[in-house]
């Protein structure tokens, strides 16, 4: 179950929410109604192993070659 709480409630009952997260619940901390953080248990999180994508990623020799002028012009003419 996903529970959303405000910052004051999180500060007041922090240990309580840590215990709930430890038991598998996800706690969303919100500020002025907008979510800003999530408390989750790291016990339930999959640990990523370094090197599992070895041989699956290819970086071509032209990776750092500058883009053609027409593409560069298209980006430089964009307005923010």
39 close to 18: Cβ distance less than 8 angstroms: yes
- Cα torsion 64, 67, 73, 75 to 10°: value is -60
Q: Residue 5 pairs with which residues in a beta bridge?
A: 29
pLDDT of residue 51: 87
Domains with residue ranges and CATH for the chain: 1-44 (3.40.1620.10)
pLDDT in tens, 3-33: 789 999 999 999 999 999 888 899 999 999 8
Q: How many CA atoms lie within 13 A of 36 on its CB side?
A: 10
pLDDT in tens, 21-70: 888 899 999 999 899 999 988 876 677 788 888 889 889 999 999 989 99
Q: What's phi and psi for 45, nearest 5 deg?
A: -85, 135
9 close to 29: Cβ distance less than 8 angstroms: no
Q: Residue 29 pairs with which residues in a beta bridge?
A: 5, 37
């Amino acid at each position: 179950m996903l529970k959303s709480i405000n910052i004051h409630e999180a500060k007041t009952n922090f240990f309580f929410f840590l215990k709930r997260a430890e038991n598998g619940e996800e706690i969303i901390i919100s500020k002025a109604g907008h979510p800003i953080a999530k408390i989750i248990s790291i016990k339930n999180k999959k640990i990523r192993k370094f090197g599992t994508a070895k041989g699956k990623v290819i970086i071509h020799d032209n990776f750092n070659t500058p883009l053609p002028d027409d593409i560069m012009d298209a980006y430089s003419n964009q307005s923010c």
